[in-house]
Amino acid sequence: MQRRIFIGDIQGCREELERLLEEIRFDPAADRLEPVGDLVNRGPDSAGCLRLLASLDAGGVLGNHDLALLATARGTRPERKSDTFGDVLRGEDRVELLGWLASRPFVRPFEDLVLVHGGFSPAWKDPIAVLLAEDPNDPGPAASAAVTIRFCDPEGNLARGMDPAPPPYRPWHELFDRTRVGGRTVVFGHWARQGLLLKPGFRGLDSGCVWGGKLTGWIAEEDRIVQVDARRAYAGI
């Protein structure tokens, strides 16, 4: 049976990704890899992660750090001191790696599941249609919200910079009506502080590997979590 294996925020943690794939006994001929986005940055080996994921023909969606890399490569965002994706920007295979990354969508619907990096605004009537219309090389407000949302109000206004945020703000997944994605289970990442979130209809897989936490895999067909410890904290708050 083909397994779909969703992987939480990798952020350049190639060694942990390789260990997780071993732990899962990933079979490239049979299994499908679906990272939740934020494949790069803050961690030690952004280019290595992209090379590995591309070689395994992974699916996945874009996260805010992936967009930061693409914007920096286009020259619309300055490279920052805290960025660790210079290995991609100055790699011999930069064109291939950036092209592969830019061909990820913002949302990936399956029959039973839907994958997004941050989450969905309660204001969107048809989140899948809204996000499929977004261009990775020219992201609009909806794409930006989908990769950054954590707390929001019932109208979908984001609580920027506040975590936790006071009422009326609540975690987006407490306000989101899943009938708007056809009742699919929502798989997402981006929220290391909240950590692993398993509740009916939602699987939040960011367990803060790059901060010294764990890298999480969720095998959809078995509804099973597999985790490996980060070798160390690669980034600090």
Report whether 42 contacts 210 (CB < 8 A).
yes
Closer residue to Mn ion in complex, CB, 37/44: 37
Closer residue to Mn ion in complex, CB, 4/65: 65
Closer residue to Mn ion in complex, CB, 31/38: 38
Is the link from the previous residue into 168 a cis peptide, with omega within 30 of 0? Answer: yes
Among residues 63, 122, 204, 213, which is the contact residue for Mn ion, using CB under 5 A? 63
Among residues 11, 64, 72, 84, which is the contact residue for Mn ion, using CB under 5 A? 64
Binding-residue total with Mn ion (CB under 5 A) = 4
DSSP tag of 130: H
Closer residue to Mn ion in complex, CB, 39/113: 39
Q: Which residue is nearest to Mn ion (CB)?
A: 190
- Asked whether position 14 contacts Mn ion by CB under 5 A, the answer is no
Report whether 138 contacts 170 (CB < 8 A).
no
Restricting to residues 106-135, name those near Mn ion by CB under 5 A.
none
Here the tokens at position 171 are 């975690």
- Asked whether position 38 contacts Mn ion by CB under 5 A, the answer is yes
In sequence order, the 6+-apart residues with CB closer than 8 A to the CB of 142 are: 121, 124, 130, 131, 134
Stretch that binds Mn ion, among 36-44, 80-88, 103-111, 213-221 (CB under 5 A): 36-44
Distances (CA, A) of 171 to 135, 152, 198: 26, 6, 14
DSSP string, 83-113: ---HHHHTSTTHHHHHHHHHT--SEEE-SSE
Give the distance between the most distant pair of CA atoms in the chain.
49
In the complex, the smallest distance separating the C-beta of residue 36 from Mn ion, rounded to whole angstroms, is 9
- Asked whether position 34 contacts Mn ion by CB under 5 A, the answer is no
In the complex, the smallest distance separating the C-beta of residue 3 from Mn ion, rounded to whole angstroms, is 25
- Among all chains, which residue has been given the structure tokens 């942990």? 16
- Asked whether position 190 contacts Mn ion by CB under 5 A, the answer is yes
Q: Which residues bind Mn ion (CB under 5 A)?
A: 38, 63-64, 190
